[in-house]
Amino acid sequence: MIDILDNTDTLDGRHGAYTYALARDRLGDHGLRMAVESGELVGFGRGVLVDARRVFDLRTRCAAALLLTDGVLVGPTAAALHGCAAIGGFPVHVRISYDQRFRSREGLVVHQGSLAPADTMVVDHLRVLIPEAAITEVLCTALRRTALACADETLHALRPDERAEFVSALQARLAARPDRRGTQRAAALLALATGIPASPAESAFLLVLTDLNVPRPICQYEVAGHRVAFAWPQCRVALAYDGDAPPKEVKYDALTNRGWLVLSADDQDLAEPTGLHSRLREALQTRRMAA
C-alpha cells in the first residue's frame, strides 16, 4: 500500500488528497507510477490525486476540490462540514473567483462569485463558508425539508441563549442577499426553525404539519416524564414519531392515562401525509380544536 501520511500543516497531503507534485516528491517517479497503475492513487482532476481507499470520504473529496480550484466550499457541502447530517456532501460545491476557469463536472459543482473574507473560515484545513453564510445558502436553495432540518440541526448545536442571535444573523443575511431568489421561502422556513426537533425527520414532520395547515404544535413536549415529538397541550393531543422503531406502548399508556390522545406517525406518513392529515384533523376536532 502507498505510504503518504496526513502529517503536513498544509492542505496538500491532507485527507488523502495530493497534488501530483507532492505525490511524486513523497513516492518518487517509480513509486508514483506504480501507485497509479495499481489503482492505489486515482485522479480527481488535472494535477490532483486521491487515495483510492478514501475516494468517497467527504473531506478527501473536499480537499481534492480545493487543491484543484483554490476555491471555498459552499452551500450543502459547507453545511455538511459544519455537522448537518440532513444534507449530503456530494457533489462537492465550491466557489471560485471570476478570473478562474473551471467547469462543473460529475461530483463537483463550481460556482463563480466573490466572497468577503469574513464569510470564510478554515475547518480541518478546508476553506469553508462560516455557518451563517452556509445555512443562508441552504435555506434559499436546498429542498424545503432539507433546508429546515439543517437550520434546526445548526441551532440545536448552539446553546439556547445563542440561538436568537444566530437567527437574527440569518435574517440580516437574507435581507441583504443580492440574489433574491428563494429568500421569501427561506424566511418562512427560518420562522419554523427552533433547534428543538430531535432529528431531521422531526423537522420534516413539522414542515408537513405546517403545509397541512394544522395549528402549530410544540416540539419535544414532555408529559409525565415522557417526551413526544409534537403536542397540542390545549386539547391534550400528541403526535409521536417512531421512525423505524416499534411503538413505545409504555410511554403511550402513561400519556393516555392522563387524558391524552396519542397518535403515532412513521416514515410512511412522512412520505405520504394524507392519512396522517385525516387522523390529526379528526383528533383535534374531537378535542374541540378546529384544524
pLDDT at 30 over 90: yes
pTM over 0.85: yes
pLDDT at 108 over 50: yes
Confidence class for position 242, pLDDT limits 50, 70, 90: confident
Q: CA-CA distance, 271 to 41, in Å (whole number)? A: 41
pLDDT at 275 over 50: yes
Confidence class for position 291, pLDDT limits 50, 70, 90: very low
Confidence class for position 88, pLDDT limits 50, 70, 90: confident
Q: Which residues of 71-98 are buried (b: 16+ CB within 10 A; e: fewer)?
A: bbbbbbbbbbbbebebbebebbbbbbee
C-alpha distance from residue 79 to each of 28, 40, 65 (Å): 38, 30, 16
3-state secondary structure 232-253: ECCCCEEEEECCCCCCCHHHHH
pLDDT at residue 253, rounded to an integer: 83
Confidence class for position 3, pLDDT limits 50, 70, 90: low
Confidence class for position 122, pLDDT limits 50, 70, 90: very high
pLDDT tens profile 176-206? 999 999 999 999 999 999 999 999 999 999 9
Average pLDDT over residues 43-55: 95
Mean of all residue pLDDT scores within the chain: 91
- Are β-strands 48-51 and 261-265 bridged in parallel, bridged antiparallel, or unpaired? unpaired
pLDDT at residue 96, rounded to an integer: 96
Q: CA-CA distance, 105 to 91, in Å (whole number)? A: 9
